[in-house]
Chains A and B, each alone.
Chain A
Amino acid sequence: MIAAVQRLPAEVAFVVFTRTAFVAALVTLLAVASPHFLTTDNMVIVLRQAALQFLMSAGLTLVVLTGGIDLSIGAVLGLAACLGAGFIAQGMVVTGILLALGAGLACGLVNGALVAYVGIPAFIATYGMLWVAHGLGYVFMKGEVIHGFPAAFRTLGAGFVGSIPVPVLIGAALLLVLHVVLHLTRFGRALYAIGGNALAARLTGMPVKRHLVTVYALSGVLAALAGLVVIARVNAADSGTGEELLLTAIAAVCLGGTSLFGGAGGIVGTAIGSVILALVVNGMNMLSIATFWQAFAMGVIVILAVLADVSFKRRMS
């Protein structure tokens, strides 16, 4: 049954081929357009950007594998970051971090309960959560900006180990853990089964509802973690933190070849998708394209990536 829900080799080949072609074209274009693009310094910047992106998209990948979606991650990231920032700025770093992660967990648990136990379509439940979290973030911040965090906390986002940025290390560790969880644990395999055929998964006796709650909870916690890394890097938090990250996070998952219909894909793909998007953003900056265009690019990339996969799958069947 597990074999049945995995992608056909031809589909994997298609995803790998289209993405590689895209990256090759992009890198060639940028290398020609800007002499600074292929420097080590710039590559470190790209990797750090990709790592931040990946932290957000990692939890989302698990949700999408079950055939769900989490539209609240951007808002939950912002809310968690703001709640934590108040304490962290006053020196209570551990309290702040725990509070942020707790807020992410709480939002995720509510999402999961609404989807699994109440039976609300995932995009509606998490869309409602988007506005609830967003509103609470605004209420908490009252339009102010919290800035100036202790140096120890800032390491999380702005620090280096040797020449490797700390977010990259966090991202790599997360990638390793989630890859192992997805492929070597019963829970991980269950996510593919739920996304492939939720009814069949339930009939084989899997605790589908509990797994779903866990997945949305993980998504919330990882969004909160991403929020902490983001504010540690920019050394400031306001209620708008994370607002524009939702579309990019979904783009990374889709580019990574995880099917929006569930049951196929994986976390490595999302890591690659994150690197591609970081290259796109970096390239747009290199070419001094106004940041207003970034949402345009993300929208087009999401649509094209999903369009390519959907039409390929159709032709195969």
Chain B
Amino acid sequence: MTAAARALAAPLARASELPGAAFLLAALAAGFALASPEFLSPRNLSNIALQSAALIIVSLGMTLVILTEGIDLSVGAVLGLCGVVMSLLLVSHGVSLPLAIAAAVLVGVAAGMGNGALVAYAGMPPFIVTLGVYGITQSLAMVLTAGNSVTGLPPAVRWFNEGLWLGVPVPLLALGALFAVTWVLLYRTRFGRYVFAIGGNRRALELAGVPVRAWLVAVYAYAGLLAALASFITTSRMNAAHPTIAIGLEFDAIAAVILGGTSFEKGNGGIWGTLVGALAVAVLRNGLNLVGLSTEWQVAVVGLVIVSAVALDALRGRA
């Protein structure tokens, strides 16, 4: 094989390893670009980027959880509670912004640690733990707000969504920074190697004397932390906090992770796939909006897409 042929073959071989999400994303983008002239406009593209920032941030944490053969159904509710806590402290209690942020982060991490402790130390199934915590955090957010939105936030909060730093919108900066941090954690530290190993063969790791349980708690805590950080962007974007603002976000995040090629059972996958998967979900929602499909249909369509993606993944794994 000549050098030129090899240079051509390498990217092709890599393309076949791309998760289905990359092809889905390309197909969706092409389809929507044809269906709606507005889709490729700079305004809409920046809209997609800003809209998907919170989703991608939450999906990063979900990727780590799923890599350990877990699931976190509570992230949407936790995100909602974090936003409510921060906003109530700011609006009703006159707390300073840094302190309110710290409190919200604390809530997110605490919820994540609760999830992790029950999964790791008590040995409970992750979906039941996180479903229970979903109920608890959702209920707390409703109780704290009596089911209403918290409005009248100080103008400084807007900065999380509208601010610019060196000409780049803050949500995208936050996304880039958190992606980089997660990348380093996952691919350059012991923590990351254990995340993959826990999903691949937890028993072997335990026999080797690794404190698997403590690392699992860290994984769920990190997912909770990311939900808290995403809540600042969401709250800022709406300029209000609502207890149910992010209910269903966990579903988009799970869809993003699975579309991105991370598997539930083998400890396979990674965050590049998740990035593409989350963009595919965001483009799907944005495009369905542009072509005039109601939110009701979107819920059903995204549900169908995720089930089909998992089904394909399962069938391909068997072949």
Q: Do A and B bind each other?
A: yes
Contact surface of A with B, Cβ cutoff 8 Å: 69, 71, 114, 118-121, 123-125, 127-132, 134-136, 138-139, 142, 246-247, 250, 254, 260-261, 290, 292-300, 302-303, 306-307, 310-311, 314
Contacts of A260 in B (CB 8 A): 125, 128
Nearest CB in chain A: distance from B15 CB, A: 26
B133 at the binding interface (Cβ < 8 Å): yes
Given A125-B310, A129-B307, A135-B300 in contact, is the A310-B122 Cβ separation under 8 Å? yes
Complex: A127 Cα to B303 Cα, angstroms = 9
What are 28 A-B pairs at a CB distance below 8 A? Answer: A69-B127, A118-B315, A119-B318, A120-B307, A120-B314, A121-B264, A124-B258, A127-B73, A127-B254, A128-B307, A131-B299, A131-B300, A131-B302, A132-B303, A135-B302, A138-B295, A138-B296, A138-B300, A139-B297, A247-B134, A292-B143, A295-B135, A295-B142, A297-B139, A299-B135, A299-B136, A299-B139, A306-B125
Contacts of B128 in A (CB 8 A): 250, 254, 260, 302-303, 306
Are A138 and B124 neighbours in the complex by a CB distance under 8 Å? no
Nearest CB in chain B: distance from A79 CB, A: 10
Q: Which 5 A-B pairs have the closest CB atoms?
A: A135-B300, A299-B135, A135-B299, A131-B303, A296-B139
Complex: A260 Cα to B133 Cα, angstroms = 17
Which residues from 112 to 129 on chain B have a C-beta closer than 8 Å to any C-beta of chain A?
118, 122-125, 127-129
Are A114 and B311 neighbours in the complex by a CB distance under 8 Å? yes
Q: Which residue of B lies closest to A239 (CB)?
A: B296
B50 at the binding interface (Cβ < 8 Å): no
Are B303 and A296 neighbours in the complex by a CB distance under 8 Å? no
Are B303 and A142 neighbours in the complex by a CB distance under 8 Å? no
Complex: A293 Cα to B135 Cα, angstroms = 9
Chain B residues with a Cβ closer than 8 Å to the other chain, count: 47
Contacts of B123 in A (CB 8 A): 310, 314
Are A250 and B147 neighbours in the complex by a CB distance under 8 Å? no
Which residues from 83 to 141 on chain B have a C-beta closer than 8 Å to any C-beta of chain A?
118, 122-125, 127-129, 131-136, 138-140
Q: Which residue of A lies closest to B302 (CB)?
A: A131
Nearest CB in chain B: distance from A253 CB, A: 10
Are B314 and A296 neighbours in the complex by a CB distance under 8 Å? no
Are A250 and B311 neighbours in the complex by a CB distance under 8 Å? no
Q: Which residue of B lies closest to A246 (CB)?
A: B131
Are B131 and A134 neighbours in the complex by a CB distance under 8 Å? no
Are B135 and A135 neighbours in the complex by a CB distance under 8 Å? no
Are A139 and B124 neighbours in the complex by a CB distance under 8 Å? no
Interface residue from A118, A124, A129, A300 paired with B132 (Cβ < 8 Å):
A300
Given A118-B315, A119-B318 in contact, is the A129-B140 Cβ separation under 8 Å? no
Given A138-B299, A292-B143 in contact, is the A118-B122 Cβ separation under 8 Å? no
Nearest CB in chain B: distance from A124 CB, A: 6
Are B124 and A307 neighbours in the complex by a CB distance under 8 Å? yes
Given A119-B314, A120-B311, A250-B131 in contact, is the A295-B300 Cβ separation under 8 Å? no
Interface string of B229-244 (1 = CB under 8 A from A): 0000000000000000
Q: Which residue of A lies closest to B315 (CB)?
A: A118
Q: Which residue of A lies closest to B140 (CB)?
A: A296
Complex: A302 Cα to B135 Cα, angstroms = 10
Contacts of B3 in A (CB 8 A): none
Are A299 and B314 neighbours in the complex by a CB distance under 8 Å? no
Contacts A120-B311, A128-B306, A131-B303 aside, 13 further interface pairs with beta carbons under 8 A come to A127-B251, A128-B310, A138-B295, A247-B134, A260-B128, A292-B139, A293-B139, A296-B135, A297-B139, A299-B135, A303-B128, A303-B129, A306-B129
Complex: A294 Cα to B143 Cα, angstroms = 10
Are A307 and B122 neighbours in the complex by a CB distance under 8 Å? yes
